[in-house]
Amino acid sequence: MTRLNSKIPEGPLHQKWTNYKANQKLVSPANKRKLEIIVVGTGLAGASAAASFGEMGFNVKVFCIQDSPRRAHSIAAQGGINAAKNYPNDGDSIWRLFYDTIKGGDYRAREANVYRLAEVSNNIIDQCVAQGVPFARDYAGYLDNRSFGGAQVSRTFYARGQTGQQLLLGAYGALSKEIKRGTVQMFNRHEMLDLVLVDGRARGIIARNLVTGTIERFAAHAVVLATGGYGNVYFLSTNAMNSNASAAWKAYKRGAFFGNPAFVQIHPTCIPVHGDYQSKLTLMSESLRNDGRIWVPKKKEDAEAIRAGKLKANDIPEEDRDYYLERRYPAFGNLVPRDVASRAAKERCDAGYGVGPTGLAVYLDFADSIKRLGKEVIEGRYGNLFQMYEKIVDENPYENPMMIYPAVHYTMGGLWVDYELQSTIPGLFVAGEANFSDHGANRLGASALMQGLADGYFVLPYTIQNYLADQITVPKFRTDLPEFEAAEKEARDRLQRLISIQGKYSVDTYHKRLGKIMWDYVGMARDEAGLKFAIDEIRKLRKEFWENVYVPGKMEGVNDELMKAERLADYMELAELIARDALHRNESCGGHFRVEYQTEDGEALRNDDDYKYVAAWEWKGSDAEPVLHREPLNYEFVEIKTRNYKS
Amino acid sequence: MNFTLKIWRQENAKAKGRFKTYKVENISPDCSFLEMLDILNQQLIEDKIELPVDPIAFDHDCREGICGMCSLYINGRPHGPEQGTTVCQLHMRKFKDGDTITIEPWRAKAFPVIKDLMVDRSAFDKIIQEGGYISVSTGGVPDANAIPIPKEDADLAMDAAACIGCGACVAACKNASAMLFVAAKVSQFALLPQGKVEAEKRALAMVAKMDELGFGSCTNTYACEAECPKNISVENIARLNREYLKAKVKKADRKREGGGFG
């Protein structure tokens, strides 16, 4: 317990961040030039942080695994970014964005962090417009907004269905500007293999050059991880193929605590699974729920006939359709938060009302909106999404309702950080999806982009100075220190061991098996017996993986299979931690649903008396049980309630 | 569905490449093109069809058509036969059962092959670093609604900004010109009031870098537009040419008047 200090500043909620900034230590321009920062990852959080550090005068080294920093998976975010601008004059405010986020997260996030997030949200929009991000506008030339789940206001700014792309290209532009100025040095096609600690502080990384295969050492005064989430543990997710958890996991094994790993977001509107060759799942933006209505047939025999291909969606008359979200949650309707919408879809499908060939799908229907607004308006709003759907499913969503089903999308859990976004390792900061901080047990739509950019543009540039102010007399680190030597050797040995197994099955074969265990037992509905079973199965699978995986190729040169094996080795361990966290948390909250803990009408049943805390896990070895540390969550400013989206 | 694949294999940048033929069988028409390559790689790895086992290297990441990482030249066309589609969003139902499919990397002097179907596109990053941004620092900017922007301009800027930087335009062009890529970025900012301040400097610097990096010149064949997965219009090239000309003239004027530029 003593090791977890969240460092929440004193004062009333709306003055905490102001007070922090007024009292924090700063680094003078002359000293900034002497200090080096490593940033791993170039998504919204990493690119914005690196660019901002460069502007401030620090020496920055940035790493990404893709061929260009512009390709980080933030690019795929579709729907939008929240901010409390209240441009539509519909009652929004910083308080309301804060409150919706805390409530949406089912009261499992820190008040002070979330309030700061809401506070800086408006600066993000200003910054992005100044960078030339082409947000949607109205005919008067002002910025347009739409609604997302868990909110009754329109506070979401968007650039068609490509908001993540445009925000990331803005941050990539800022990064490029600093690369040109020489403050930032870019290392593309580099993958972090380990974190290096010197005297207990984060002082560098070991990375593999993915083109030459060379294992390289990099030193700095501080390290920022902005390496995204761990959704790919489930094999099938909406993450990119190369998104992985290895950087975060290596930091965990070096002493950074892992916060709330069980909090995984399963997004309600994804294109359903259709074959075992499938490599990933594709999200259909939550923004579609602005105009789409979700339904399944009211009668089981209709659902059966649809599944058998004897009936089509359009054959079902209006009175025989069950718009179950509107029925169960009249106040929020189709715009309930993601966890609620996902569970409701699963409930209907499990009860036998699902559609599509597998029965694991529900309809998202635009017929009413097309009638009300015309096809052109709908096309203007969601054209690219409709096109993407048609390419994948080969069906025209203007004429037939879309079929959708929940899929793993985002991880609220991540490395534990304090108010300064610093982990339990001094000098290791964690930003964006990689940290656990702001979304509690469920993230609201359009809040990931907000958090990534808040962390990178407006939080880290302040808080990292508070740390580095004490480091100005520390000379630049050399990478020939024994700590670097040892970390490099460990990384090299691990890769060599993977190659030397020369077993029978591919990395993908094991990854699919792990994914199935995770989806079946650590997915949308979890229970004690299933979680215990999963832990056993994961351990067995991990053992088998290390005995019988086949990694072709050499240490030198391009070797994708080797990197996939390295990532899967980490997933095998992380999967177990997710299951353990889920097993220990004897309550349902947000995305974590334990079937033993639900209300009579199937809603999540929280246990605030026993579980109103952040679970921060400490590594104790591959075969030892991790140690749980609790950070109690104190709600001083909001009243904790049972979430209500009904009235 | 069954296919015969003729795939370009090249050990590294220096090695000589060649085509090798592979067969894949029982492929679902709903399978994406990259998933079909996954299946082939799985066979190469687990069935050990040929030794030493060497799965095909290709770039890919989001598989949603937005990251711009995938870059295959299929039957002589960047991203394959379907218009307005990246290869990750191309599905096997677009081919005929029994087809022979030729798969190559992007071919351009400025995009050297790394291995098999992977190429090095860092030249694009270098062009952007010359000015493909607005030089604003974090903080101290006006309210987002302080400057209204006509919807038409914002929409056109968005059309240009939709570029995913995949390089299909270069691969499609017989001169391996990067004009469409550069034009899209220059246009996005030239259309917005925030971007106008640096418009001239940007156009000159980005074009100069493009030439320096070995991309060819534009001869207006419009192959780039035809193959662009995001349907970026060649009208952007016309806009770039105007911006470039304007900048050149102004630069010459300033020189005559004795002032510097930029």
- CATH of residue B103's domain is 3.10.20.30
Using the predicted structure, report yes or no on whether residue B75 has a pLDDT greater than 60.
Answer: yes
Subunit contact A388:B115, Cβ cutoff 8 A: no
- Provide mean pLDDT across the span B26-55: 96
Q: Kindly state whether residues B136 and B69 are assigned to the same domain.
A: no
Q: Give A484-487's long-range contacts (Cβ < 8 A, gap of 24+).
A: A484/A196, A484/A204, A484/A206, A484/A217, A484/A219, A487/A194, A487/A195, A487/A196, A487/A206, A487/A217
Q: Is residue B261 part of a domain?
A: no
Which residues of A participate in catalysis according to the annotation? 338
| Residue in B11, B89, B122 nearest the CB of A67 | B122
Give me the residues of A, 220-239, that contact B with CB < 8 A.
none
Q: Residue A513: which domain range?
A: 502-611
pLDDT value for B212: 97
Give me the residues of B, 205-234, that contact A with CB < 8 A.
none
Would you say B100 and B3 are in contact if contact means Cβ atoms under 8 Å apart? yes
Domain boundary among A356, A386, A409: A409
Using the predicted structure, report yes or no on whether residue B16 has a pLDDT greater than 60.
Answer: yes
Q: Is residue B165 part of a domain?
A: yes
Q: How far is A496 from chain B (nearest CA, A)?
A: 17
Q: Which residues contact A187 (CB under 8 A, 6 or more apart)?
A: A61, A62, A63, A64, A207, A218
Would you say B117 and B7 are in contact if contact means Cβ atoms under 8 Å apart? yes
Query: Please, what's the b/e burial string for A106-128 (b: 16 or more CB within 10 A of its CB; e: otherwise)?
Result: bbbbbbbbbbbbbbbbbbbbbbb
Question: Which of A176, A285, A559 would you mutate first to test chain B, the one with the most B CBs within 10 A?
Answer: A176
- State how many domains chain A has: 2
Q: Is residue A102 part of a domain?
A: no
- State how many domains chain B has: 2
Q: CA–CA distance from A41 to each of A63, A226, A246, A616, A645 (Å)? A: 6, 5, 12, 23, 36
Domain boundary among B57, B92, B115: B115
**Residue position matching structure tokens 């699963």:** A346
Q: Which residues of A touch B93 (CB under 8 A)?
A: 394
Q: Kindly state whether residues B102 and B128 are assigned to the same domain.
A: no
Q: Kindly state whether residues A289 and A401 are assigned to the same domain.
A: yes
Q: Kindly state whether residues A405 and A286 are assigned to the same domain.
A: yes
Domain boundary among A376, A409, A442: A409
Q: Is residue B68 part of a domain?
A: yes
Q: Would you tell me how many other CB atoms lie within 10 Å of the CB of residue B72?
A: 28
Q: Kindly state whether residues A281 and A384 are assigned to the same domain.
A: yes
Q: Kindly state whether residues B59 and B81 are assigned to the same domain.
A: yes
Domain boundary among A409, A428, A460: A409
Q: Is residue B106 part of a domain?
A: yes
Q: Percentage of chain B surpassing pLDDT 70?
A: 98
Question: Which of A186, A242, A279, A358 would you mutate first to test chain B, the one with the most B CBs within 10 A?
Answer: A279
Please state, in angstroms and rounded to a whole number, the distance separating the CA atoms of residues B213 and B109: 9
pLDDT value for B259: 56
Q: Is residue A551 part of a domain?
A: yes
Please state, in angstroms and rounded to a whole number, the distance separating the CA atoms of residues A528 and A94: 39
Token reading at A125: 């929009």
Subunit contact B68:A70, Cβ cutoff 8 A: yes
Q: CA–CA distance from A17 to each of A10, A13, A458, B92 (Å)? A: 9, 8, 11, 54
The values of phi and psi at residue A258, to 5°, are -105, 120
Would you say A323 and A293 are in contact if contact means Cβ atoms under 8 Å apart? yes
Chain B touched by A453 (CB under 8 Å): no
- Provide mean pLDDT across the span B195-203: 96
Would you say B44 and B53 are in contact if contact means Cβ atoms under 8 Å apart? yes
Subunit contact B148:A76, Cβ cutoff 8 A: no
Angle made by CA atoms A521, A526, A527, in degrees to the nearest 5: 105
pLDDT value for A543: 98
Using the predicted structure, report yes or no on whether residue B261 has a pLDDT greater than 50.
Answer: no
Please state, in angstroms and rounded to a whole number, the distance separating the CA atoms of residues B129 and B209: 9
pLDDT value for A1: 44
Subunit contact B134:A73, Cβ cutoff 8 A: no
Q: Which residues of B touch A68 (CB under 8 A)?
A: 68, 121-122, 124-125, 165
Q: Kindly state whether residues B191 and B250 are assigned to the same domain.
A: yes
Please state, in angstroms and rounded to a whole number, the distance separating the CA atoms of residues A53 and A26: 13
Would you say B253 and B245 are in contact if contact means Cβ atoms under 8 Å apart? no
Q: Is residue A620 part of a domain?
A: no
Q: Is residue B17 part of a domain?
A: yes
Q: Give B153-156's long-range contacts (Cβ < 8 A, gap of 24+).
A: B153/B191, B153/B192, B154/A134, B154/A135, B154/A136, B154/A137, B154/A141, B154/B191, B154/B192, B155/A134, B156/B187, B156/B191
Which residues, in sequence order, are bridge partners of residue A37?
A60, A222
Would you say A249 and A261 are in contact if contact means Cβ atoms under 8 Å apart? no
Q: CA–CA distance from A188 to each of A462, A468, B24 (Å)? A: 26, 26, 33
Q: Kindly state whether residues B111 and B130 are assigned to the same domain.
A: no
Q: Kindly state whether residues B97 and B126 are assigned to the same domain.
A: no
We report the CATH number of the domain holding residue A605 as: 1.20.58.100
We report the CATH number of the domain holding residue A382 as: 3.90.700.10
pLDDT value for A150: 87
Q: Kindly state whether residues B185 and B111 are assigned to the same domain.
A: no
Domain boundary among B98, B115, B132: B115
Q: Which residues of B touch A50 (CB under 8 A)?
A: none
Q: Which residues contact A116 (CB under 8 A, 6 or more apart)?
A: A16, A17, A454, A459
Higher pLDDT, residue A382 or B22: B22
Q: Kindly state whether residues B76 and B59 are assigned to the same domain.
A: yes
Q: Kindly state whether residues B127 and B248 are assigned to the same domain.
A: yes
Q: Kindly state whether residues B79 and B191 are assigned to the same domain.
A: no
Q: What is the DSSP string of A147-159?
A: --TT-SS--EE-S
A123-182 per-position pLDDT tens digit: 999 999 999 999 999 999 999 999 988 899 999 999 988 999 999 999 999 999 999 999
Which residue stretches of chain A have pLDDT < 70? 1-2
Domain boundary among B115, B144, B174: B115
Which residues, in sequence order, are bridge partners of residue A321?
A297
Token reading at B3: 């296919």
ipTM score for this prediction: 0.97
Please state, in angstroms and rounded to a whole number, the distance separating the CA atoms of residues A49 and A464: 10
Using the predicted structure, report yes or no on whether residue B126 has a pLDDT greater than 80.
Answer: yes
Q: Is residue A25 part of a domain?
A: no
Q: Kindly state whether residues B77 and B139 are assigned to the same domain.
A: no
Q: How far is B26 from chain A (nearest CA, A)?
A: 11
Q: Residue B251: which domain range?
A: 121-256
Please state, in angstroms and rounded to a whole number, the distance separating the CA atoms of residues A367 and A379: 13
| Residue in B114, B125, B154 nearest the CB of A211 | B114
We report the CATH number of the domain holding residue B210 as: 1.10.1060.10
Please state, in angstroms and rounded to a whole number, the distance separating the CA atoms of residues A415 and A411: 11
Please state, in angstroms and rounded to a whole number, the distance separating the CA atoms of residues A365 and A385: 14
Q: What is the dihedral of CA A439, A442, A443, A444, to 10 degrees?
A: -120
Please state, in angstroms and rounded to a whole number, the distance separating the CA atoms of residues A227 and A128: 22
Q: Is residue B262 part of a domain?
A: no
Q: Kindly state whether residues B194 and B167 are assigned to the same domain.
A: yes
Question: Which of A391, A464, A498 would you mutate first to test chain B, the one with the most B CBs within 10 A?
Answer: A391
Please state, in angstroms and rounded to a whole number, the distance separating the CA atoms of residues A154 and A343: 24
Q: Which residues of B touch A176 (CB under 8 A)?
A: 125, 128-129, 132-133
For all residues of chain B together, what is the average pLDDT?
Answer: 96
Residue A637, classified by CB atoms within 10 Å of its CB into exposed (0-12), middle (13-18) or buried (19+), is middle
Q: Kindly state whether residues A508 and A402 are assigned to the same domain.
A: no
Q: Kindly state whether residues A405 and A506 are assigned to the same domain.
A: no
Residue A365, classified by CB atoms within 10 Å of its CB into exposed (0-12), middle (13-18) or buried (19+), is buried
Q: Would you tell me how many other CB atoms lie within 10 Å of the CB of residue B23?
A: 11
B76-116 per-position pLDDT tens digit: 999 999 999 999 999 999 999 999 999 999 999 999 999 99
Q: Is residue A470 part of a domain?
A: no
